[in-house]
Chains A and B, each alone.
Chain A
Amino acid sequence: MNGSWLPVVGRRLISLVWVVVGVSLITFIISHLVPGDPARLVAGDRATPEIVAHIRSQLGLDLPLPQQYLHYMGQLLHGDLGTSIRTHRPVLQDIAAFFPATLELALVALILATVLGIPLGVLSAVYRNRLTDHLARTLAVAGISTPAFWLGLGLIVIFYGNLGWLPGGGRIDQGMAPPPGVTGLYLIDAALAGDWPVWRSALQHMLLPAITLGFVHLGVVARQVRSSMLEQLNEDYVRTARAYGLSPWVVVLRHALPNALIPSVTVLGLALGDLLYGAVLTETVFGWPGMGAYVVDSIQALDFPAVMGFAVVVSFAYVVLNLLVDLLYRRLDPRIRGIG
């Protein structure tokens, strides 16, 4: 691979700085627009004005706004995201505690969506405009059109309430200790520790929320694969391969599909970003202790540092992720790789 990827990375890193500044500024402005006084919320209704004022100055909320912002940015440069008004713990610590849960959920949902979405897209493209295609497309579109929170509730009622097959919430069985935290992703940590009962429990708890979240992206993946496949199937090399007598499925799977998947890689990057914050509503329904629930609570409690911290961390992750996906795309696509 030629070294032409350095300027790409360089440019992205610069834009990363822009993004972090922009994101923090936007969330700062918005969160201070929201009417409400977090000091009052912490103090409770019955606190006297003196107590509220005391809390407000403790939290640094009585300083002029620009000063508060500059102070925040200064801390940010040291990697300090401030202290949550609600929990009195460093925001970074809170996010680190909740992030792995959301990441694990998003990854499993993405895997499910991909594993099911790719075959669906392929079938749709190959049997274009026939019954299979129509059914597959309807399924895909249904996925995109379903409100995740509604689906989640329904799944809990059916699979936990009525059938009792799967647990109704949480990450592992109550009473079980979570595996020693290496990555924070229970499935990986439990496998590393060889703790199979915990692994099984984590998997059981993971299924329903991942299916809920994944069902939506099933549609996105299937659509993308279908459209890329259609493009590929129209290409000359496909006709040539068939003319040589290669069986249709070999052509589809061994030749067209890998080429079709390359543009789909970029969609995966976007999907992961979507999933990360799409988890917000799904997590509340399943009691999944992730960032989604955290950020909703923080917005309601006017916990500015927490909301800003969340926005900065997720945007950061999003840009880095897209960078990695772009690099991967360049690696995979021989046209770009070769030319440089």
Chain B
Amino acid sequence: MTPFPESDLPIAITMLLLFGAILTIAAGLVRRSFAWPVVLLTLLVVLGDAIAMLLAIVRGGPLRHTLGGWAAPIGIEYVVDALGAFVVVVIAAVSVAVTVYARAAVRAENPDQEVAFLGMMLTLLLGLTGMVLTGDLFNLYVFYEISSLAGYALLAIGDRKAPVAAFRYLILGTTGASFYLLGIGFLYVLTGSLNMADVARLLPTLHNNPALPVAIALVVAGVGLKTALFPLHGWQPDAYTYASSTTTAIIAPIMTKVSAFVLLRLLFFVFGVDLVTRLLPTGSILAWLSAAGIVVTSGMAIAQRDVKRMLAYSSVAQVGYVGLGIGLANPWALTGAVLHILNHATMKCCLFLVAGSVALHARRRTVAEYAGLGRMMPWTFASFTLAAVAMVGLPPTNGFFSKWYLLLGTIRSGSWPLVAVVGASSLLTAVYFFRLLESIYTAPATAKPEAPAGDPEAAMLVPTIALGVAVLVLGLCNSWFVTQVLQPALPAAVRLPGS
């Protein structure tokens, strides 16, 4: 049992990350090699905390913590339910994996900026976990901006073109955040409160107010931009391509997914299903834009020759699945969307770790250059194959199951074009992944004298393999997660029958 009250667990995460970031930079100033152990230690403690938090919630219901003792709704509070706790566990677990990887990767790619990089990484995680944990709309904005600023800094550390991509993202991202801020400004004017639960309670009494649709639209646009929902995704491909491999490995799986989760929170817990589907056809717009996004970006992924850029477009397509599920707003679709948040995080992290390893270790970046690597880096590419097969959605990997639930959701909604989109997208994904796999395993290796053969070192290899295995395990065990964690956390209106 914990020596302190369980309701302190959420705030402990924030505090750990905040002080961890400061300590990392301080330690790094003393001696560069001191920074990394501090980061790893911080994240391990955070992971433990997150798991303890999840277990506490599964046992005893949602946790609430009021900051500074000021009672809600005036004061700011953290509200964590099973779903939020699970997302935090995912964030923590993926970050630990990436941190292990980062040790070698950052030293190889950007050794001079190692300390700043690691500090910014913790700041990013501070922002992202805060977004998930908080129960206050403005507090969400603050954490949103914290994670964004850290993100801009991280994305700027990379190759020569990285600052340009980061700048573009900065302009777009800040615009998005500002839209969100304006949106909650409207909500404040309408309800007088910024506490999520309070606003949720008050909104139904304001059904006919013309300011409400505007508020919803602004908020969705704001969060949607960070989620890289089509067509607000333009910043993502460049940003991911030029950033360093570690940055992409941590941002791609986590940042857009946390934003997607926040979108889900806002739409279903603050605005409510009823409001969202009746007042503005938010759900339909979201679903159709996502569907279009899936098709268009999958097509663009097929056209790419640089592997990281291909994976970046693929990420946008995958977030489209989440958007589609949220937009359809029926129990099966939501289950698929949330499950996909978890699943895509594992798959994409594994893929970007491999892309990074290959770029660093074997000096190859394009699909053509990947030829024949299957023999040279067997373990790395075994994991890659598992993750790729999962992205295509073949059983028994986790990617298959999120597609299964999404398909059930689209069938329930009665929209046959959407059913076709979900089905066809698997095939589009198969085109660019199998093409790559074929090249990796059968083509003769192009000789690169300066690149050593064999798998990269353990620090980079172990997280890759762990994620590859996770892809299978999560697939087979998905039902446990769906029934034990997901269902209890969704509002009753969108739960599966029999939960």
Does chain A bind chain B? no
Residues of B within 8 A of A (CB): none
